[in-house]
Structure 1
Amino acid sequence: MTKQLVLMDHDGGVDDYLATMLLMTMDSIQPLGIVVTPADCYAQPAVSATRKILDLMGREIPVAESTVRGINPFPRLYRRDSFIVDHLPILNQSEIRTPLVSESGQEFMIRVLLDAPEPVTLMVTGPLTTLAVALDTAPEIETKIAKIVWMGGALNVPGNVEKSFEAGQDGSAEWNVYWDPISAARVWKTAIEIVMCPLDLTNTVPVTSEIVYQMGKQRQYPLSDLAGQCYALVIPQDYYFWDVLATAYLAHPEFYELREWETEIMTTGASQGRTKITAGGRKVWAMDRVDKSRFYSYILQQWRR
């Protein structure tokens, strides 16, 4: 069976590491590399934790650190989780072996896409800034991208950028758009197929105590042990299967129902960072429904590998 070529771009949140782990368990996927975009994290520990996770899984996949910057920084309270994960004992049993490439994440993305024998799926679980910069630098890469599967946006539900955090916002923006709406709008101008996993869906798939306890019951498996530790860190929050839910689509699209929407990205004003449904706008696919029981069973199964 021909494997799907995938380049991952994540931004160092707890769920980004777990999405990376999930991707590495997929037999139908050939990962070409991982780019770390410094958004919901601090760059150094996020890159370090990513490399340690790949070591734990025995995967020799190159990692690249993007040097892009956003417009609206994530709160420090969110970003500090990258330090916590990097210090988990299970990830610090030996010296790091996974290579960190010398070029920037955006340069690495361009090279990987141009060198690929066929179009590549981009699995993006953070902002679209690294991709936007890569497109501006080398527009020819657009034809080398099969599609973008992206955790981002909120269509018919409120965003998760809280008004109390960000003065002047109306609460409609989702963080992966809000960090850099200009870059999201740049990607919206392409002809690349976009499959979104918006808050509309992720809001229905919470990280529950029950599922975390189930991970604990199979902690003899290192992946399940690590996943359970990571989710234990965030269980006091309202936490959802954002990036993991989006990434699982690559292996099991049959779990999901998609719906097409016409949209635009708001780049200014109180709605900056909103993914707005607009007649005649850019057509995107959005994950609309998911079979939750099959999804939960699938990730528990993969953590037992």
Structure 2
Amino acid sequence: MERTLVLMDHDGGVDDYLAAILLMTMDHVDVLGVVVTPADCYIRPAVSATRKILDLVGRHDVPVAESTVRGLNPFPPTFRRDAFCVDNLPLLNERDEILARRVPEAGQAFMASALRAAPEPVTLLVTGPLTTVAAALDIDPRVEGKIREILWMGGALHVRGNVERSIESGQDGSAEWNVYWDPIAADRIWQTAIPITLCPLDITNLVPITQAFLRRLCRQRRHPLSDLAGTCYALVAHHDYFAWDVLTTSYLGRPEMFTLRAWETEIVIEGPSQGRTRVVPGGRPIQALDQVDLDQLYTYLLAQWAR
């Protein structure tokens, strides 16, 4: 496959770590760095867990940066505390020290400098909100031209959102969390000319982490990455879980498993639908992952994590 420069921006949820593990198994990808955005996590353990994962996969050459941005609508603390659980998993704590380098500059500044220095356009893999990307463009608007595309897990086009309807907040239940955390930043990116490939809830709802898949994964426990993935999924097995960020990342590895569809869209930035990604004629053109071959996907994940 054609080699691809990738800069990852994740927000510290359980599936973000699994997506990072998957990304590091891709031989055709050159990873420029990993930025952690403080959205679906507490930032200190999320950065620590990310660095430990890079050590586990032998990629301590990949720099890690801590974004300092803030969103409008915080994730619930019960979501964010999973970062502590992952950071304390035994498999990630067998070494006395962490080798993966944490850069001293803020994540948004690191993103801008990494894009500026890149020898060719970069794919931004974003599995959290777009706030850090928007901040990097504010720091240096010229780096927009260095972004090949943004591959983003975000939005809900024709299905309900995953932000619950709430009388207190006035939210009508149409928003997806990565948009809702900071719809202003998402709208900022929608105003650019950067190509966007979206992995919305419309397709992730079709890709549950099933008990059958977990049983197959558990049979691979002799492989450290499979062991780590199975343990991470065990942390969230008490509720329905889907391959949100892992599915998004899989598109980088095996795009032929997917079909895409073009839409014209807008981001709703205020009111009861704040954070909704609305399909509207004449809106901002995007590509969205529309269908995936499930058998191929599950087989691909098992093979990559058995490496």
- Output the CA distance in 2 between the equivalents of 1:265 and 1:166: 22
Q: Which amino acid aligns with 1:261?
A: W
Residue 273 of structure 1, aligned match among 272, 275, 289: 275
How far has the Cα of 1:266 moved from its partner? 0.2
Task: State the Cα deviation string for residues 26-53 of structure 1 (Å, max 9, x = none).
Answer: 0110000000000000000000000000
Task: State the Cα deviation string for residues 233-277 of structure 1 (Å, max 9, x = none).
Answer: 111111100000000000111100000000000000000000000
Query: Does the Cα contact within 8 Å between 1:208 and 1:235 map onto a contact in 2?
Result: no
Q: Superposition pairs for residues 5-24 of structure 1, below 5 Å?
A: 5-24=5-24
Q: Please provide the CA RMSD for this pair.
A: 0.9
Task: State the Cα deviation string for residues 67-104 of structure 1 (Å, max 9, x = none).
Answer: 00000000000000000000000000011110000000
Residue 175 of structure 1, aligned match among 153, 173, 177: 177
- Output the CA distance in 2 between the equivalents of 1:263 and 1:223: 37
Gaps of 5+ in 2: none
Residue 64 (1) aligns with residue 65 (2): yes
Q: Which amino acid aligns with 2:4?
A: Q
159-168 or 108-117, which deviates more:
159-168
Gaps of 5+ in 1: none
* 3-state secondary structure, aligned to 1:257: strand
Q: Superposition pairs for residues 1-305 of structure 1, below 5 Å?
A: 2-59=2-59, 60-94=61-95, 95-164=97-166, 167-305=169-307
Classify 1:166/1:96 alpha carbon distance in 2 versus 1 (closer, same or farther; 3 Å). farther
Query: Does the Cα contact within 8 Å between 1:266 and 1:276 map onto a contact in 2?
Result: yes
- Output the CA distance in 2 between the equivalents of 1:66 and 1:212: 33
Q: Which amino acid aligns with 1:270?
A: P
Q: Which amino acid aligns with 1:168?
A: G
Q: Which amino acid aligns with 2:298?
A: Y
Query: Does the Cα contact within 8 Å between 2:166 and 2:173 map onto a contact in 1?
Result: no
Q: Number of aligned pairs?
A: 305
- Output the CA distance in 2 between the equivalents of 1:272 and 1:118: 36
Query: Does the Cα contact within 8 Å between 1:36 and 1:66 map onto a contact in 2?
Result: yes
Query: Does the Cα contact within 8 Å between 1:209 and 1:235 map onto a contact in 2?
Result: no
How far has the Cα of 1:167 moved from its partner? 2.5
* 3-state secondary structure, aligned to 1:21: helix
- Output the CA distance in 2 between the equivalents of 1:138 and 1:90: 39
How far has the Cα of 1:208 moved from its partner? 1.0
Q: Which amino acid aligns with 1:48?
A: S
Query: Does the Cα contact within 8 Å between 2:6 and 2:29 map onto a contact in 1?
Result: yes
Structure 1 runs (4+) greater than 3 angstroms displaced: none
Q: TM-score scaled to structure 2, two decimals?
A: 0.98
- Output the CA distance in 1 between the equivalents of 2:268 and 2:122: 28
How far has the Cα of 1:164 moved from its partner? 4.3
Query: Does the Cα contact within 8 Å between 2:154 and 2:178 map onto a contact in 1?
Result: yes
Q: TM-score scaled to structure 1, two decimals?
A: 0.99
Query: Does the Cα contact within 8 Å between 1:64 and 1:101 map onto a contact in 2?
Result: yes
How far has the Cα of 1:166 moved from its partner? 6.0
Query: Does the Cα contact within 8 Å between 1:196 and 1:287 map onto a contact in 2?
Result: yes
- Output the CA distance in 2 between the equivalents of 1:2 and 1:288: 23
* 3-state secondary structure, aligned to 2:288: strand
* 3-state secondary structure, aligned to 1:147: strand
- Output the CA distance in 1 between the equivalents of 2:93 and 2:217: 21
Q: Which amino acid aligns with 1:205?
A: V
- Output the CA distance in 1 between the equivalents of 2:183 and 2:84: 26
Classify 1:165/1:18 alpha carbon distance in 2 versus 1 (closer, same or farther; 3 Å). farther
How far has the Cα of 1:213 moved from its partner? 1.4
- Output the CA distance in 2 between the equivalents of 1:8 and 1:121: 8
- Output the CA distance in 1 between the equivalents of 2:98 and 2:243: 28
